[in-house]
Structure 1
Amino acid sequence: MPLNRPDLRLPGLPSGIRAPFRTLGPGSVSSLLKIALDVAYVLLMIITAVLLLAFVVAIFIPIENYNVTYRGVQQPLTRSLTLSGLGSFSAYFGGFLLVLRNLRMVFSTLAIGDPFQPENVSRLRQIGLILAVVTIGSWLVQGLIAAQLASRATNSQGAGELLTPVFSILVVFVLAEVFREGARLRRESELTI
């Protein structure tokens, strides 16, 4: 059952004043965000493809004569370091490509004005799971690469760096439950009509 609201009533405004925009349905803010997600998805797909191509090329290119400077310490660039760095970046951007794919599908339901579809619950759960894997993976890989490059020049990673990502992941899982409850209520209302 699509939500057709011509505009949005904002809390705190007098009863006759309404916001000049819609949040759901065709021509709404959701539609504009869906377009932005589509553009970001294509750009991220290109970046991921370039990184994967660079990973494959790095397998065959000799790199013995190159050095890398990390926090003031110069080290020789090794093949394993190059491949692990390119592979990590590819996985990182590939993970966010999957997040954007699911977000695009959620926003397509918002753009048609029908957000409480049961599929959105699994999409949001997938987003939360992917964000958790990417967050933990990038934290571990950063520590490993820093240890490979210059263990004496790096500060140790703390769990405090994970506070904001973990909070974001929990918010996504809570939103999934909100959507699940909305889909359940919608299903019940359709059965009673």
Structure 2
Amino acid sequence: MPLHRPDLRLSKLPRLRPPFGVKFQTPFKTLGPGSVSSLLKIALDVAYLLLMLITVVLLLLFVAAIFIPVSQYDITFTSDDGGTQQPLTRALVLFGVGAFSAYFGGFLLILRNLRKIFRTLTLGDPFQPENVRRLRQVGLILAVVTAGVWLAQGMVAARLAPGVMDPQGLGELLTPVFSVLVVFVLAEVFREGARLRRESELTI
């Protein structure tokens, strides 16, 4: 005797709907012209110009510090427990202005790469091989800037303000190191996306 099989049709199956009428859609456009990416691109352009202006001013101060006499001035490091006063030397001024110039110059290079990445997002074409290289450069520059700040603060705490300024500990490097790793992971994601895009183009 043949078994009776129930007639299962897709039209009779209940439709699954999100609970409480929630629709899983982004309320705004993320890629292309007039999207959030284009607004962020404008913000990056403004920040890039401001950072370029600051870097140029610091470089001019660095050149001026070579000729301006500073021996009659002192610098004071203060903290909750007290402070210390040191004579302001030309080497100290050049070190300070040079360190700030390198710091802002590093972030200027980071913004330069981010502007180019967001330009591709605005065009709606993010998975380009150039974006992989740009993200890797951002991660490398961020790592160099983080290491430079850590070393510079350690030198200032040890040589200029011992007992007043504390050097950065290894625990304070966790957030910057995590940021660097995230950037390199994103570079690999973009590399995989560019590979899949290239394979799809060859298949078509």
Same fold (TM over 0.5): yes
SS at match of 2:66: helix
Q: CA deviation at 1:106?
A: 0.3
SS at match of 1:74: strand
Superposed CA offset, 1:84-110 (max 9, x none) = 000000001000000000000000000
Task: Give the structure 2 partner of residue 182 of structure 1.
Answer: 193
Q: CA deviation at 1:157?
A: 2.7
SS at match of 1:126: helix
When Rg is computed on C-alpha atoms for both structures, the one with the higher figure is 2
What is the identity, as a one-letter code, of the residue corresponding to 1:138? V
Query: CA 1:42 to 1:13, structure 2 compared with 1: closer, same or farther past 3 Å?
Result: farther
Alignment of 1:69 with 2:80, yes or no, is no
Task: Give the structure 1 partner of residue 157 of structure 2.
Answer: 146
2:106 corresponds, among 95, 112, 116, to 95
Task: Give the structure 2 partner of residue 8 of structure 1.
Answer: none
Q: CA deviation at 1:126?
A: 0.3
What is the identity, as a one-letter code, of the residue corresponding to 1:124? L
SS at match of 1:27: coil
1:108 corresponds, among 110, 115, 119, to 119
Task: Give the structure 2 partner of residue 60 of structure 1.
Answer: 67
Superposed CA offset, 1:34-90 (max 9, x none) = 000000000000000000000000111101111111122121111111100000000
2:38 corresponds, among 19, 23, 31, to 31
Contact 2:131 / 2:187 at 8 angstroms: preserved in 1?
yes
What is the identity, as a one-letter code, of the residue corresponding to 1:44? L
Superposed CA offset, 1:103-142 (max 9, x none) = 0000000011000001000000000000000100111011
Give % identity: 73
Say how many residue pairs are matched: 183
Alignment of 1:164 with 2:143, yes or no, is no
With the length of structure 2 as denominator, give the TM-score of the two structures. 0.85
Contact 1:63 / 1:79 at 8 angstroms: preserved in 2?
yes
Task: Give the structure 1 partner of residue 148 of structure 2.
Answer: 137
With the length of structure 1 as denominator, give the TM-score of the two structures. 0.90
SS at match of 1:60: coil
Superposed CA offset, 1:132-162 (max 9, x none) = 0010011101111232322132324311111
Query: Gaps (5+ residues) in structure 2?
Result: 1-17
Task: Give the structure 2 partner of residue 6 of structure 1.
Answer: none
Contact 1:75 / 1:149 at 8 angstroms: preserved in 2?
yes
